[in-house]
Structure 1
C-alpha cells in the first residue's frame, strides 16, 4: 500500500492477541485497524504463527513499524547509577544487578535497554530475546523497517513526554493495573505497580498516592498525570493533588488494539 510522509504501522502484542494499526500524522492523528487476531499465547512459536497470519494480505513493504508489548511480557525497573560510574559497562552492570535483585534471575535470555544516565536514576527495560527474534523475523518477512520495540509503559511515557510536567508523577492504567513513575523534582525516584480494585474512586487514588509517597520517603506530588483506562472520576483536584487524564484517543479500545495505539499521540 502506498505510504505518505508521517504514516507508519504500530503492532500491539498482548499475551493472547495481536493488532496491527496504520497511523498518520496528516490532518491530525488518525489510526486505522488493519488486522487483529487471537493467539494461543506469547510463546515464540505461537507468536510467529500469529504474526504471519496478521500480515497476510497486507502490503507493509517500506512502512516503519513500531511494536508495543504488554507490560507483563517485559520487565521494567528503575536503576540508580553506581557512584563514579565511568563507562557504559558500569551502567549495564548496575542494571543487570538490579534486575537480578528484583526478579530473582540473571539477564540471560533477555535483551536490556535503558536511558543509560550516569548522573541520575534511569528507567530500564528487558524484553525476552525469543519474542524479539519472532517480531524481527516478522518485520523482515513483511519488508517493513523495525523502528522500535517497547513495553506499553515506556511507549506511554515517550508518547506524552511533551506534556509531562517536572515534579509530576506519571501513570498508566491498563486493565486493572496502575503503573506509576514517581519523581522527585526531575529525578525518577521509583517505579511502582498496583492492582486497581473494581470501582476504585478518587478517594482510593488519593490514599494510594499518599501511601506510595510515604513508603518511598517522598513529598506527595501536587500533580498526577495519567493515561490509559483511568476512570474519568479521578480527574480534577482534591486535597492538594491535581489529577490530569491524558486523552489517548483509544476510548473503547481494548487488548492488543489499545496496546498498538499507546503513545501514538505526541
Structure 2
C-alpha cells in the first residue's frame, strides 16, 4: 500500500501486547486499527518478534512499513514518570539532569544507568521527567532497521496524552488519563506541575469515588483541590459533570469505548490528532 501524504503508523506497546494503527491528517484519514499481537514481551527479542508478527498480519499484507514514519506509544507501566523540582539557582542543563537523576534514585531505588532520560526541562518551575529502559529502545531500533521504517518518536502514553490536550487545559484544572483500568493524574498548583499520581480504578467506581480520590490525592500532594478535572481515554461516562455536582467540574475529552477500539489500539492512537 502506497503511503499518502500525511499518513503515518503508530505502535502501541504494552507488557502484554502490541497494536498497529494507521493515521492520516488528509483525505478523510480516519485512524484505522490494523493488527494486534497479544502475549508476554519480556523475552530478550520479545518486542522485535511481536512487531514482526503485526507487520505480517492479514490487514497489513499490502502495507510494507519500509519508509513509513512510526511513533511508538509506551504503556506507562513500562516507563518511569516523576516530577522534578529544579534546584535553587539552576542555570545549566546539567544541573537539571543531576536533579532528575537524584529524584529518580530516591523514588525508584536505583540509578539511571540502564534507562534513557528525557524531560520537559525547566529551571524556573517543577517539570515532568520520563525514563525508558535502554534495552526496550534497543529492540525498537533493531525493528526499525529490520523493517526499514523511520522511528520518529518513542513516548510514554501519559506524556502523549498531555501533549495532545495541552492547549485545552484550563486554569485551575488537573489533567488525567484513564487506560487499562488505571487513572493517572497530573496535579497542578497554579501553572506548576505538583505531582503525577497513578491509581487502579476499583470495579464500579462512580463519581463519588472519583471525588473522594481527587480529594485524597490533593491532601497527599499538599495542594488545593482542583476546580476542574479534564480526562482523556476510556473514562466512565458517569464521571462527567452533572447538575448538583459542586466539588469540581469534570470534562471528558473522548469516549473511545463506544467506537469499538481495543485497549491496545487506544494506546497506539493516544496523542494522534487524526
Please indicate, yes or no, whether the TM-score normalized by the shorter chain is above 0.5. yes
- Aligned-partner SS, 2:254: coil
Cα shift readout 1:198-227 (whole Å, capped 9, x = no counterpart): 101001111111121122221211110001
Q: Which runs of 5+ in 2 are unaligned?
A: none
Residue 244 of structure 1 corresponds to which residue in structure 2?
A: 251
Residue 153 of structure 2 corresponds to which residue in structure 1?
A: 148
Residue 182 of structure 1 corresponds to which residue in structure 2?
A: 187
- Aligned-partner SS, 2:186: strand
CA distance in 2, matches of 1:263, 1:65: 13
- Spell out the pairing of 1:1-266 with structure 2 (5 A cutoff): 1-27=1-27, 30-56=30-56, 57=61, 58-237=63-242, 238-247=245-254, 249=256, 251=258, 252-265=260-273
- Aligned-partner SS, 2:45: helix
Report if the CA contact (8 A) 2:184-2:196 is conserved: yes
Cα RMSD (Å) of the superposition?
1.6
Cα shift at 1:65: 0.5
The 3 A distance-change label for structure 1 pair 250 and 198 is closer
Question: TM-score scaled by structure 1?
Answer: 0.94
Cα shift readout 1:4-51 (whole Å, capped 9, x = no counterpart): 222110001111211111001125561112221123323431111111
Cα shift readout 1:76-132 (whole Å, capped 9, x = no counterpart): 111111111121111111111111111111111110110111111100110011111
Report if the CA contact (8 A) 1:65-1:146 is conserved: yes
Report if the CA contact (8 A) 1:153-1:179 is conserved: yes
Q: Which runs of 5+ in 1 are unaligned?
A: none
CA distance in 2, matches of 1:215, 1:231: 24
Cα shift at 1:197: 0.9
The 3 A distance-change label for structure 1 pair 146 and 248 is farther
CA distance in 1, matches of 2:54, 2:44: 15
Cα shift at 1:178: 0.7
- Aligned-partner SS, 1:172: strand
Report if the CA contact (8 A) 2:234-2:255 is conserved: no
- Aligned-partner SS, 2:48: helix
Report the count of equivalent residues: 266
Cα shift at 1:55: 2.1
Cα shift readout 1:147-194 (whole Å, capped 9, x = no counterpart): 110111111111112222233100011122111000111110111111
CA distance in 2, matches of 1:52, 1:195: 32
- Aligned-partner SS, 2:166: coil
Report if the CA contact (8 A) 1:14-1:42 is conserved: no
Report if the CA contact (8 A) 1:17-1:255 is conserved: no
